[in-house]
Amino acid sequence: MPTFHTFGPVEGRTDGRTLGVTRRCAMCAQDITVYVKPDDWHRFVDGESFIQEIFPYLTPDQRELLLNGFCGPCFDKFCPPDDD
């Protein structure tokens, strides 16, 4: 099983069509797996574009997990939305 270290502790498994990327939330320590296209993962690791352009099919919470290592609920606690 390949391990990617570029963005902290990330592990991945592929079946050739999808890559299951598992990341542990930095706050709650929950392991969460996000499934992406292998070519998109390599584009992301290589910094080819913005994450929302590479993974438009992921939710904002999934992209945040891949980018910064926080699950959705923990990110909301860490960076609460502005109440304008």
pLDDT at 5: 37
The Cα 10–Cα 8 span in angstroms is 6
For the entire predicted model, the pTM comes to 0.76
Residues facing residue 11 across a β-bridge: 3, 22
| Token representation of residue 47 | 């910094």
Query: Across residues 62-73, what is the average pLDDT?
Result: 92
In the structure, what pLDDT confidence band is assigned to residue 16 with cuts at 50, 70 and 90?
Answer: low
Smallest CA-to-CA distance from 8 within 22, 19, 79, 16 is with: 22
Share of the chain above pLDDT 90, in %: 54
Express each pLDDT in 23-45 by its tens digit. 999 999 999 999 999 899 999 99
Domain ranges of the chain: 3-78
